[in-house]
Structure 1
Amino acid sequence: MAMESSVWSPCDYSHNVTFFYNWVGKKISVAWTTRDSVVIGLGLTVCLIVVLANLLVMVAISMNHRFHFPIYYLLGNMAAADLFAGIAYANLMLHTGPWTSTLSKKQWYIRGALIDISLTASVANLLAVAVERHQTVITMQLHSTMTKRRVVLLMVCIWAVSIIMGLVPSTFWNCECDLDDCSTVAPLYSRRFLVFWAVLNLLTFFIMVAVYTRIFVYVRYQTSHASHHTADMRHRQTVVNLMKTISMVLGAFVICWMPGLVTLLLDGLLGKASHANAYEKFCLVIAECNSLVNPVIYSLRDDEMRRTFKWILCCLCRRGADQQRELSPVQVNSPLPEETLGCVQKLDHAVCTETNHKEDSWTMPGV
């Protein structure tokens, strides 16, 4: 009896990752299959695209002075969260399958924490964007009067909260002291934590949907009772277009993450009876796609963002071509093309002269 009580001690921290997987009945692959190799290869390719696409969004917002407003800073911070998600998924791909059994508990917790941090950062950024839009749209302004210092402080707080939420399971809210509370999807996580985390995120979704619904109702009411003055109508249409873009981002996020959160909620409530392991991988793939959706939405909805993307890519291609010409013995003494000097100038003066003739004001999504 003494031996049995020592082995099954409620807080025996000597158990490894494999023990918890066996305890909840989640199988760890013994050998690599062709299917596993294809999945990991495609997954890492998608992660690379996610990182590059969101990095392009961040560079575009930082270089184009027309995007230097609170709403775009928050969207840039959301792109940083998506970029971080791409890194988190890549780390997951490199520590899954047969590699799972080789992980220490610390490495396993880090793998899960990266995913938690990226999701929390995305949700917090969406909530901040919703509050910012509510503040500006109710007063029918394009941009918030929030200072850059406050925006930076808000973004720091978002990442601080995200990191704390990511560290919670590894620090105290896990099942190492209560094996009956272990999750089947994440065997070292507490089922009660998964319920708390899923409910918190789902509640945040509903709050954001309610906020945007109120904003749309208000804008529609104001538009129907507004004067038909050209400037007023253009201003209101710009606000509506921006709202549509942000709503598409929110809708894509909810669609991509809702299955995964519901799966975690069912796993937390029902445990093995939920059979969550049968479809958790599909939910993870859908969630990973969300990090790639936002840059696509910006490209389709925001003309200025699309032009900025083209400008950045053109400058990179020109620099690559210039480097090749410099290395060529035939072109070594030839001067640099005059057109490459435009890449050094500020973006809002070098995008193209056609853009400057078309618009005299800030270019907004969908305009």
Structure 2
Amino acid sequence: METELEQDQEATTALYLNESTQNITSTDPSLCNSTQCYMVLTEPEKKAIGTICLLAGPVTFFENILVLLVIASSVTLRKRPSYLFISSLALADTFASCFFTISFLDFHLYSQNDGPNIYLFKLGGVTMAFTGSVGSLLLTTLDRYLCIYQASNYKVLLTRTRAKLAIVLLWCVTIIISFLPLMGWRCATNFNPPCSRLFPYVDHHYLAFWTGLQLVVLFLIIVAYALILWKANRHETAMGGPKSGRQSVKGQARMRMDIQLARTLSLILLILAVCWLPVLSFMIVDVTVTLTNKQQRMFAFCSTLCLVNSCVNPLLYALRCKELRGELFALLACCKACGKNTLGNTHSKRNENSSGIRKKSKDQAVTDSNPDTISEVVDKQ
């Protein structure tokens, strides 16, 4: 009799605990016990995001590697602080194309369940890439701001040595900040609050810190470009008065360049806002409330916009520059000449001399060409 009574009590207790667990799971969505809570994409969504990453990733890698090769092969461009900042941006976007694409597909599409250290190491690489990209955008923006507001002292204020120091400092700070979760600033409960619902093992406080830092950097970029646009508009208004002769022609040319500059900067600001504000908004919400699975899926799609931004950056900041385009054409011509030389060894010396003459003529043509970027304007002064 006592044995049957004990069995009945154990069965009742087990049933009660099972019902209690089900009630907690169903009524408290903030509780999570594995990384499966973060793998929320459906099969059609996986195919869509996989297509975006597999298209944008290689294109981004190729574009930025090409920019780095062109700048590295040109002595003229390597001496310019503006192109050093563009090199830093291209390097960061190259990292983004590799780290983000591999990590994102590995986690969301192939459901790779790594341990805390391996996952945080991968996430640190992605964070480093995007933090370095936004930081390099800030350096590029400050360079253009000095070109406009300190044109007479630009070459004194921003030397090549100072530009290199700024880049080294940027990357040192970026690496430290990006790998703070791996070094110990992580979620103590692994998955449950205060752990983020966007990234496993990531503490809310770290996410708030990183998001706030990116918002500050983006705010500085927007303010600097707004001041540049205001300066361009003022200059356009000032040049609108009646003039004659050579001064009128020069003023009209400068006014056209200011208008082109305003359009370029407006496009830059629009792309920055579209690519970064949705992601940062989700991160801010994640710090304050518990996100649902639908919101997690929306964040996954929005995060691909950061990769798209890295894909667009070379077109906005590098390939629009006449000097860099000239160096690119020269590099392609040299590669073509080298290919011909391998087919005709008897004419190798003559081909090398002609390539050198073409390269020299191109450099002179690029030097004498009209600048279409702010830094090129200052270098002509």
Match of 1:302 in 2: 321
Counterpart code for 2:328: F
* 1:86 maps to which of 82, 85, 97: 97
* 1-structure distance, mates of 2:108, 2:204: 23
**SS of residue in 1 equivalent to 2:106:** coil
Q: 1:86 to 1:71 in 2, by over 3 A?
A: same
Query: What secondary structure is seen at the aligned counterpart in 2 of 1:170?
Result: coil
Residue in 2 that maps onto 1:319 = 338
1:167 paired residue among 176, 179, 190: 179
In 1: Cα distance, 2:333 partner to 2:91 partner:
23
Over 3 Å counting, the alpha-carbon distance change for 1:66 and 1:231 in structure 2 is: farther
Instruction: Indicate which of 157, 165, 183 corresponds to 2:169.
Output: 157
Q: Give yes or no for the alignment of 1:190 onto 2:203.
A: yes
Q: Number of residues paired by the alignment?
A: 335
Partners of 2:67 and 2:318 within 8 A in 1: no
Does 1:117 pair with 2:128?
Answer: yes
Report if the CA contact (8 A) 1:116-1:166 is conserved: yes
CA contact under 8 A between 2:85 and 2:139: conserved in structure 1? yes
Return the offset for 1:304.
3.3
Q: Deviation at 1:78?
A: 1.0
Over 3 Å counting, the alpha-carbon distance change for 1:298 and 1:204 in structure 2 is closer
Deviations 1:136-192 (A, max 9, x none): 211345954311111100000111111111111222322134732111110211123
Determine helix, strand or coil for the equivalent of 1:363: coil
Match of 1:135 among 124, 128, 146: 146
- Which residue does the alignment assign to 2:368? 360
Residue 77 (str. 1) matches residue 95 (str. 2): no
Q: What letter is aligned with 2:71? A: I
Contact 2:145 2:224 in 1 (8 A): yes
The residue that corresponds to 1:50 in the other structure is 60
Which is worse superposed, 179-188 or 93-102? 93-102
| Deviations 1:107-139 (CA, angstroms, capped at 9, x unpaired) | 211111111111111221222222222222113
Within a 5 Å distance, the mapping from 1:1-367 to structure 2 comes to 19-22=33-36, 25-27=37-39, 36=46, 40=50, 43-65=53-75, 67=77, 68-93=79-104, 95-97=106-108, 99-140=110-151, 144-145=155-156, 146-177=158-189, 179-226=192-239, 229=247, 230-231=249-250, 234=253, 238=257, 241=260, 244-245=263-264, 248-273=267-292, 275-298=294-317, 301-323=320-342, 325=343, 334-336=346-348, 338-341=350-353, 349-351=360-362, 355=365, 360=368, 363-365=371-373
Structure 1 residue 290: deviation in Å? 1.1
In the superposition, the TM-score normalised over structure 2's length comes to 0.74
TM-score, normalisation: structure 1: 0.76
Measured at CA, do residues 197 and 27 of structure 1 come closer, stay the same or move farther in structure 2, by a change above 3 Å? same
- Kindly name which structure, 1 or 2, has the bigger radius of gyration based on alpha carbons: 2
% identical aligned pairs: 21
Could you tell me which amino acid in structure 1 is paired with residue 198 of structure 2?
Answer: V
**Separation in 2 of the partners of 1:340 and 1:45?**
38
SS at match of 1:351: helix
SS in 2 for 1:183: coil
Specify every segment of 5 or more residues in structure 2 that has no aligned partner in the other structure, as ranges: 1-31
Change (3 A) 1:94 1:225: closer
AA at the equivalent of 2:171: W
1:284 to 1:60, Cα distance in 2 relative to 1, 3 A: same
Is there any run of 5+ residues in structure 1 with no aligned partner, and where? Answer: 1-17, 326-330
Alpha-carbon distance in structure 2 between the residues aligned to 1:180 and 1:339: 68
CA distance in 1, matches of 2:40, 2:294: 16
**SS, match of residue 43 in structure 1:** helix
Aligned-residue offset at 1:101: 3.8
Amino acid in structure 1 at the alignment position of 2:35: Y
- The residue type equivalent to 2:213 in the other structure is L
Structure 1 Cα separation of the partners of residues 355 and 97 of structure 2:
29
> Which residue of structure 2 lines up, in the alignment, with residue 14 of structure 1?
none
User: Aligned pair in 2 of structure 1 residues 317, 49: CA closer, same or farther (>3 Å)?
Assistant: farther
Report the CA distance between 1:208 and its aligned residue. 1.8
Relative to structure 1, is the Cα distance of residues 343 and 360 closer, same or farther in structure 2, using a 3 angstrom cutoff? Answer: same
